[in-house]
Structure 1
Amino acid sequence: MELRAFEKEDYELLIGWIDSDKLNYLWGGPKFEFPLNFEQISRHCTQPEVLPFIFVVSGENAGYIELFKVAESHFRICRVFVSSGFRGQGISKQMLGQLIELAKEKYTTNVLSLAVFEQNTVARNCYESLGFSVISYEVGTRSFEGEEWGLLHMEKRL
């Protein structure tokens, strides 16, 4: 299992994975419109502060994850996604573990932060098991199909 750089050749893979409006919103929040397309991904991933990765398991592409540079020693984990064929196998925890190590070793990160929708209890439990704690709660800023989604901000000091 390893993280590798997300390249232009991988855009179609990600587009295929994000196959519904709700999944698109869960993955990318309001930043991306469904259907996801090459232009949106390119515009996002070519920003210098965005560091996107593919997680490879036994030679197969299993997930996508990003680091976003907030400040010199503060990065944000964004857009965590595990493809449907790999869900329920603990892949997200392994992918996040590798990303945390990479952030610490390669980017000398002291603080990792992230945001997760309150109702995404599987993701929240995974983050908490890796040492992330809720530092704030945001309500009234995100909604999907008329349903309000609370946003939890979490942080881990390295």
Structure 2
Amino acid sequence: MYLRQFSVHDAPEISSWFSSREESLLWGGRVFSWPIETSEIIKRSHQKDIEFLTLSSGSDVLGFIELQHVSLNEMRLCRVTVSPKFRGQGVGKALVTLSLEEIKKRKQYQIVTLAVFAKNKTAYNCYKSLGFIAVDKAPKFKDFFGERWPLVQMEISL
């Protein structure tokens, strides 16, 4: 398994990983519409201060992660996901671990942050197992269709 830069050819595969609006919201919040359009992913990949990486093995795309350059010393992990074909096999942990290693190589970042919905227990436990800690920062929830979804803000020092 290795990390590589996102290619526009990855977008159709990634957009196919979400079978419901709830899955889409858990992953992308309001950043993408439902159903997720390939063109939306490609358009976002061109935004300044955002970097898309994929976890790959041979020709398979196993996972996807968005890195947001928040400041000179903070990087934020967003939109972390694993292909449904590879879930439950440690791929998410490998994706985040390799992403942290890539961020460390850049030597300027001292902190990596992320937010995870409280109901996404699998992701929360993955981040916690890698050393991320919950911190008391806003936002603490997002509203979707009249429902309030609690968010956990997390960070790790490099």
- TM-score, scaled relative to structure 1: 0.92
Correspondence 1:70 to 2:70: yes
Share of identical aligned residues, percent? 35
Q: How many angstroms does 1:15 deviate by?
A: 1.5
Q: 1:108 matched to which residue of 2?
A: 108
Give ranges in structure 2 of 5+ residues lacking alignment: none
User: Residue 44 of structure 1: SS of its match in structure 2?
Assistant: helix
Give ranges in structure 1 of 5+ residues lacking alignment: none
Q: How many angstroms does 1:106 deviate by?
A: 2.7
Pick closer, same or farther for the CA change 1:111–1:142 going to 2, 3 Å.
same
Q: How many angstroms does 1:152 deviate by?
A: 0.8
How many residues align? The count is 158
- Residues 66 and 77 in structure 1, CA contact (< 8 A), matched pair in contact too: yes
Q: 1:120 matched to which residue of 2?
A: 120
Amino acid at match of 2:26: L
Q: 1:42 matched to which residue of 2?
A: 42
- The CA deviation string for residues 114-153 of structure 1, in whole angstroms up to 9 with x for no partner, is 0000111111111111111111265774234443210111
Q: Distance in 1 between matches of 2:61 and 2:141?
A: 33
Q: Aligned ranges for residues 3-152 of structure 1 at < 5 Å?
A: 3-106=3-106, 108-136=108-136, 141-152=141-152
User: Residue 70 of structure 2: SS of its match in structure 1?
Assistant: strand
- Residues 65 and 77 in structure 1, CA contact (< 8 A), matched pair in contact too: yes
- TM-score, scaled relative to structure 2: 0.92
- Residues 140 and 148 in structure 1, CA contact (< 8 A), matched pair in contact too: no
